Amino acid sequence: MSRLFAVLMAGGSGTRFWPASRARRPKQLLPLGGGDPLLVRTSRRLAGLIPPDRQMVVTGARHIDAVRALLPEVPPEQIVGEPQGRDTAACVGLSAVLAERIDPDAIVVAMPSDHVIEPEERFRGHLAAAATALTEHPESILVFGIEPDRPATGFGYLRCGEKLPDVDGCPLHRLEAFVEKPDATRAQLMLDQGGHLWNAGLFAFRPATLIDAYRTHLPHMLPGLQRIAAAWGRDEFEPILAHEFPKLEKTSIDFGVMEKIEGALLMPLSLQWDDVGAWSALPRLREADEDGNVTDGDVVALEATGNILAAPTGGVVAVRGIDDLVVVHTADATLVCRRDDAEGVKQITEALKARGLERFL
Amino acid sequence: MSRLFAVLMAGGSGTRFWPASRARRPKQLLPLGGGDPLLVRTSRRLAGLIPPDRQMVVTGARHIDAVRALLPEVPPEQIVGEPQGRDTAACVGLSAVLAERIDPDAIVVAMPSDHVIEPEERFRGHLAAAATALTEHPESILVFGIEPDRPATGFGYLRCGEKLPDVDGCPLHRLEAFVEKPDATRAQLMLDQGGHLWNAGLFAFRPATLIDAYRTHLPHMLPGLQRIAAAWGRDEFEPILAHEFPKLEKTSIDFGVMEKIEGALLMPLSLQWDDVGAWSALPRLREADEDGNVTDGDVVALEATGNILAAPTGGVVAVRGIDDLVVVHTADATLVCRRDDAEGVKQITEALKARGLERFL
């Protein structure tokens, strides 16, 4: 079996956790819920199977120092900074060409760095099984799908095709189709039907296979990526990355590659998964107190129930007589919205921009 | 007519405006509502009648530098710092003995430094009339009472006694009695009856008269006060103040003196008066926007009505979908409570203390 190699995609700017997350301090670097940053938890979750020296992080160039400080066991040259965000096709393509240089026989698993997945042991079992599957199907790309537990409309779905023999006790299918984020009715239908999994952006591949897929579907991206890979480990890596990367097409890996390839594999993950997509997800990271308030940092809550109250970067949140709100304090901003207001933070960050208050973003 | 001399009492610690007001930055020094600090407005309100060099400020010792910076035209030696808070009898007694040294023939008007009074011209007219009254009644202390416009339960009341002839067009009474803060029924009764005014802590006196009253009712306080006054203007003033002041009895001027004296005068003030006692008073300092939100500092309010939203010391408050709340942001604290929750801030500051979070007070 080829050895696993992990790529942690940590390029998000994380406005959904405003005001805690900022352009300079995205969600994956925040100690959300009071523990280690999600990026650190993601790296540690892998470590029992894929040691830190077999991990790579692709993040924003401005976050390189922070990431290197958070993950001292990941070799510094495997923490790569995108000069600007070019969406996931550029990010995954970059990691494929770099992984090929580091270990051409590796099985690469690429995943977001800001999700919560439990139990970790089972997750690692699935990754190992995926490696076995890709050893048996070396020309395939494998996509992981999350078994849905509710008719979520916030994710795309993956439709299971032909059932293949289990691998190391894990089920395996052909991937039949990508399904765009559904409306509520369609989401319920898929949940009732079965055979549809959430697309959480986790997949596995041999570098050569993914590079072949780019050659077929995104051929114009390959020369630039290969020039970057050729410079890796040399002094000119940074300037060449800075020169080539911004010219790459800005498209998603799903749209640019995954939806177009034939013969992809789909491995269902039946475990607890959370993309921690908004403040309202904090209760899934931290238990509520007896009044139903979920708190992070120094908080005083009097006659208050069902709130999410966070001072994750210091300071204090003090409330009385409020229910079912989100209150977040940082040194230069306070957010208050309803807990069920899924659009609250997005609308607020857009309003800040519109009113010339970008300095608070 | 003796010349007026003003004493601005600025000793409060101002916890009611937490988190904007702090032990180190009390309400009277804050630019509440976006304008000048209330202390500055109080000084300026007097200036047309009592110039800054005839004003004295008694504040907390730790605030002396801040007050001198805010009021550069008040002679620095007339900005006196209490080494510790000893309630109003000590504060007013101190100002009486100091005023006697500065101008024994003065008519002193003593008042809180954190109230809003309008129209200012009419207020100055009342002060001038009070001086006339005290020239005619040199042995009296004059208390100002505010004509109530609602059955407030948050203030003590003054009961009007015998009607005396108007002075300079201003009505004048004997003061019949002090009435403690009433319950709602009693407050409504007094409002219906008439003849009851709010006690706003404004009064006027000749220094010798007040000192005589102390000699009668608080005789043990006088030697210490006189030792302080004797040192005023000399190098040993500060050490003597620091030595003597903390030994003074801690009692209120109302309880210790005013309620015990005979023949006090009562002058009704029929004007707009506000003690700006809590965040819920902010709408009386600043107009609401079309959604009924009163804002102070950088604020973004989306689908939100009737809120008081303040970032008075910098930063931004951003809210969506909330109504009738108070949200205050400072660098190290956020307060959220209901606008009609008169006890909110008090309960919160007590809870902070109880939980070892005094560093945020």
Helices (H), A201-298: 207-217, 222-231, 237-244, 253
- For the record, the structure tokens of A350 come out as 């857009």
Three-class SS of residue B103? coil
Number of domains comprising chain B: 2
**Domain co-membership, B289 together with B249:** no
The per-residue pLDDT for A268 is 97
If we measure between CA atoms, which residue out of A182, A134, A140 comes closest to residue A159? A182
Q: Which two tokens stand for residue B76?
A: 């620095």
Which of B19, B341, B357 faces A321 most closely, judged by CB atoms?
B341
Domain's final residue, options A214, A240, A274: A274
Asked whether the beta carbons of B116 and B38 are under 8 A apart, the reply is: yes
Q: Is A216 on the interface with B (CB under 8 A)?
A: no
Residues A100, A243 share a domain: yes
Q: Cα angle at B138 between B158 and B161, to 5 degrees? A: 25
For the segment B318-345, the average pLDDT, to the nearest whole number, is 95
Give the Cα separation of B93 and B43 in Å (integer): 20
Model confidence pLDDT, tens digit, residues B116-163? 999 999 999 999 999 999 999 999 999 999 999 999 998 999 999 999
Residue pair A104/A202 in contact (Cβ under 8 Å)? The answer is no
- pLDDT band (50, 70, 90) for residue B1: very low
Question: What's the pLDDT score for residue A310?
Answer: 94
Domain that holds residue B326: 282-360
Q: B39 and B67 in contact (C-beta within 8 Å)? A: yes
B52 and B196: one domain? Answer: yes
The residue among B274, B306, B323 that closes a domain is: B274
**Is A298 close to B357, i.e. CB distance below 8 A?**
yes
To test the contact with chain A by mutation, choose from B305, B320, B343, B349 the residue with the greatest count of A C-beta atoms within 10 A, namely: B320
User: Hey, is the C-beta of B300 within 8 angstroms of any chain A C-beta?
Assistant: yes
Nearest to B182 by CA among B201, B163, B199: B199
Does the distance separating the beta carbons of A315 and B334 come in below 8 Å? yes
User: Cα distance from A324 to chain B (closest Cα, Å)?
Assistant: 11
pLDDT per residue over B171-207, tens digit each?
999 999 999 999 999 999 999 999 999 999 999 999 9
Same domain, B42 and B150: yes
Q: Strands, DSSP E only, in chain A? A: 4-10, 55-60, 79-82, 107-112, 116-118, 142-146, 157-167, 170-179, 196-205, 265-269, 272-274, 294-296, 298-302, 308-310, 316-320, 325-330, 333-338
pLDDT of amino acid B204: 97
Pair A171, A260 in one domain: yes
Of B239, B274, B309, which residue sits at a domain end?
B274
pLDDT value of residue A144: 97
DSSP letters along B320-353, please?
ES-BSEEEEEETTEEEEEETT-TTHHHHHHHHHH
Q: Which of A1, A316, A278 lies closest to A152, judged by CA?
A: A278
Distance CA B309, CA B328 (A): 6
- The minimum CA-CA distance between A306 and chain B, rounded to whole Å, is 14
Q: What is the pLDDT of residue B311?
A: 93
Same-domain pairing of B237 and B330 = no
ipTM rounded to 2 decimals: 0.81
Region B248-274: what's the mean pLDDT?
93
Which pair of tokens denotes residue B27? 């309400």
Show which of residues 173-192 on chain A sit within 8 Å of chain B, judged by CB atoms: none
Interface contact B316-A355, CB threshold 8 A: no
Position B2 scores a pLDDT of: 54
A24 or B86: which carries more pLDDT confidence?
Answer: B86
A344 part of contact set with chain B, CB < 8 Å: yes
Question: Chain A: residue nearest B354 by CA?
Answer: A300
Q: Which two tokens stand for residue B340?
A: 């009609």
Taking residue A53's Cβ as centre, other Cβ atoms within 10 Å add up to 11
Residues A304 and A168 in one domain: no
Task: Give the mean pLDDT per block of 10 residues along chain A (361 residues).
Answer: 86 82 84 83 95 96 94 96 92 96 95 93 96 95 96 94 96 96 95 95 96 96 96 94 95 92 94 88 88 95 97 94 97 96 90 94 89
Q: Tell me how crowded residue A119 is: count the other CB atoms within 10 A of its CB.
A: 11
Q: Which two tokens stand for residue B117?
A: 């009074």
Q: Are both B255 and B316 inside the same structural domain? A: no
Residues B288, B308 share a domain? yes
pLDDT of residue A1: 45
Q: Which residues of A139-176 are buried (b: 16+ CB within 10 A; e: fewer)?
A: ebbbbbbbebeebbeebbbbbbbeebeebeebbbbbbe
Q: Between chains, do B318 and A331 touch, taking CB under 8 Å as contact? A: no
**Dist CA B317 CA A352 (whole Å):** 10
B267 and B288 together in one domain: no
Neighbour tally for B131: CB within 10 Å: 26
Residue that has been written with the tokens 């933070």 in this structure: A345
Based on the fold, state whether residues A152 and A264 are members of the same structural domain: yes
In a shared domain, residues A159 and A22: yes
Which residue is it, tokens 């970067």? A313
Chain B: residue whose CA lies nearest to A355 = B300
Distances (CA, A) of B268 to A268, B122, B258: 81, 12, 17
Instruction: State whether A336 and B344 contact (CB < 8 Å).
Output: no
CATH number at A113 reads 3.90.550.10
